[in-house]
Amino acid sequence: MEEYKLESYDDYINFIKPANFDEADFAAMTKSEKIKILKLKKKLFNNEKELTKEILKTFESKRNKLKKGKKEFDELLSLLDKAGIEFKTQEFNSLTRAEKRVIRMDYYGSTTKPDPELLSDFYSRACKNPGNKNRYKPEDYDLSTSPSWLLFRQFKNFRNIETRVKRQLSESGVNPQDLKNMAVEDYTDVIHNQFKRAEDDENAPMFLGAKYSFVKDFIKNFEKPFVKILEDVGVDKRYIKELVKNMKSKGMSENFRVFDENGIEIKGPRISVHHKIAVNEANSKSKMGEINLFENLCLCIDDPYHGKIIHRLDKSLNENGRLMRNSMAFKNKNVVFVGGLSPIQQLDYDYTNDPRTKRAQNNVFYYDGSFITNDTEELREKIAARKIMENIEKEKSDHAARRAERFNKNEQKPKEQKSLAKARFSIQSLRKSMRRR
């Protein structure tokens, strides 16, 4: 067998990467080679732990001094650079609430019912009139004439459900001529009505969202090296087994619990799906519809890498009338899993060269941003005021219910208890009067 020469960390990283190294390679080594591998690995892991501690310590101890141009900030940037993380400040166009809502709907694959007060008057009237139902055929609706639908159409998942959207528009009795005036909120209601499983369902699942699709694709292609990294960082094998099971069946890498045979919970890391380019920065992409593509997503152990490090310096600011944003990103643009700050605790894959990604990119639509929304600040203020009044009325109702409950409890006491209480009161009153004398 060819002898491996590992003179530096770079040699070791290139050698140990799951793409070109596995357990069979390790088993075929001589004893001295195995010892060298394990020593390098231990040293690299220890260095990663120390670097992570130092970054977190810098965030905590110098958070009031971390301003650009200061020595402390330069020290932090140096540490982040060692960890393969870059800090950037760039100009960006803030997304509207409607744009963010559509991105979230595509990401999660579900939607909640919009507030009725945000719906257009003509749309509400059409839905309430039973005589309009199926007045128009689904094929009568040309969605390309609707500015608001062009916002949805940027995403492949919404293009795939256009037939069902047309069917629901027909059932709701919306005039095809009104498509050009349909707001984002109206389409959200159309989609919710079409996909809800029961009449009173607040949440309606539409399709497998980008988040869950990515997790399923990841575990299908990277299960073995992913499991190996988690084992190396000390995650319980029973937790890993349940995690992999959830990722394969549900596309979920978080929000589940594992218990041993005695009913004691087995703890493990929460693993989040991270947008490499954040949703707030979606307009920095050439096409907004690319924000949820696999190439822009990666899995990341939440504590501390995702929650306490990579998003720690996120901030929007106004510099001389220009909207700027501070953020951090991994230097490795192809990273798909971050289990630590060391390269051997990370996995990467170039989704930009994946045929599926190329097909998705080729079919992303441009749009000019001229969608319609009824989601105005005035409406929001009215809704907020209404909810405040509802909460006040609820508190009054709850208070009255508690008083009635206390009264009923007193009424239900046995007569003997009441008599005894009266006798005690009389005795106490008599004692007080005797003391006064």
Distance from C-alpha of 163 to C-alpha of 206, rounded to nearest angstrom: 13
Whole-angstrom Cα distance, residue 187 to residue 168? 10
Distances (CA, A) of 68 to 76, 77, 173, 316, 322: 10, 10, 57, 15, 18
Task: Report DSSP letters for 154-192, one per residue.
Answer: TSHHHHTTHHHHHHHHHHHT--GGGGGG--HHHHHHHHH
Beta bridge partners of 317: 324
Instruction: Record the pTM.
Output: 0.74
Quick check: helix, strand or coil at residue 266? Answer: coil
For 403, the enclosing helix (H) or strand (E) is helix 377-411
Beta strand 335-338 with 297-301 is parallel
Burial 154-182 (b: 16+ CB within 10 A, else e): bbbbbbebbeebbbbbbbbbbbbeebeeb
If we measure between CA atoms, which residue out of 273, 345, 347, 349 comes closest to residue 306? 273
Three-class secondary structure of residue 371 per DSSP: coil
Handedness of CA 338, 226, 254, 261 (dihedral sign): negative
* Residue 325: count of CB within 10 angstroms of its CB: 18
Dihedral sign from CA coordinates of 412, 416, 417, 423: positive
pLDDT values of the chain reduced to their tens digit, one per residue, 437 residues: 344 444 454 554 454 454 445 566 667 767 776 676 677 667 666 777 777 777 777 777 655 555 655 777 777 778 888 888 888 888 777 788 888 899 999 999 999 999 888 899 999 998 888 777 888 899 999 998 998 998 898 888 999 999 999 999 999 999 999 999 999 999 999 999 999 988 878 889 999 999 999 999 999 989 988 998 898 888 999 999 999 999 999 999 888 888 988 889 999 999 999 999 888 777 655 567 888 989 999 999 988 888 888 888 888 777 777 888 888 888 888 999 998 888 778 888 888 887 766 555 555 554 455 566 666 656 666 666 666 666 777 777 777 777 777 767 666 555 555 565 556 656 666 666 666 55
The DSSP code sequence of 59-99 is HHHTTTT--TTSHHHHHHHHHHHHTTEEEEEEE-PPPPHHH
Alpha-carbon distance of 76 to 62, in angstroms, equals 9
Torsion of CA 86, 87, 90, 95, to 10 degrees: 90
Residue written as tokens 């009505």?
193
Contacts of 63 (CB under 8 A, 6+ apart): none
